[in-house]
C-alpha cells in the first residue's frame, strides 16, 4: 500500500466533507463585508453639516456681531 500524500488526504477530506446548509454561504459572505468607518464622511456630508450649523445666521446678524 502506497503512502498517502498531502494531496490524496486533501481530496479524501473534500470527498467526505459534509455539504453546507442552504443559506450558510450568504451568512459567510455577509460576515466578511468590511464595516463602514463611522468617523469618515464624504465632502457632501461635511458641507451639509457646516451649512446646517450656520443656518440660524443671516448676513445681517453676522454683520451685527462685528
pLDDT tens per residue, range 8-22: 888 888 777 766 666
Domain presence at residue 4: no
- Say which residue, 5 or 28, is predicted with more confidence: 5
- What's the domain range around 40? 9-64
Q: How far apart are CA 57 and CA 55, in angstroms?
A: 5
Domain presence at residue 1: no
Count: domains in the chain: 1
Domain presence at residue 2: no
Domain presence at residue 3: no
Q: How far apart are CA 63 and CA 66, in angstroms?
A: 6
The structure's pTM equals 0.24
Radius of gyration over alpha carbons of the chain, in Å? 30
Express each pLDDT in 28-53 by its tens digit: 566 566 666 666 556 677 677 766 66
Does residue 61 register a pLDDT over 60?
Answer: no
Amino acid at each position: 500500500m502506497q503512502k498517502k500524500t498531502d494531496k490524496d488526504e486533501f481530496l479524501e477530506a473534500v470527498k467526505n466533507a459534509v455539504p453546507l446548509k442552504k443559506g450558510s454561504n450568504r451568512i459567510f459572505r455577509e460576515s466578511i463585508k468590511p464595516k463602514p468607518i463611522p468617523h469618515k464622511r464624504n465632502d457632501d456630508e461635511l458641507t451639509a453639516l457646516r451649512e446646517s450649523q450656520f443656518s440660524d445666521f443671516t448676513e445681517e446678524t453676522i454683520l451685527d456681531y462685528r
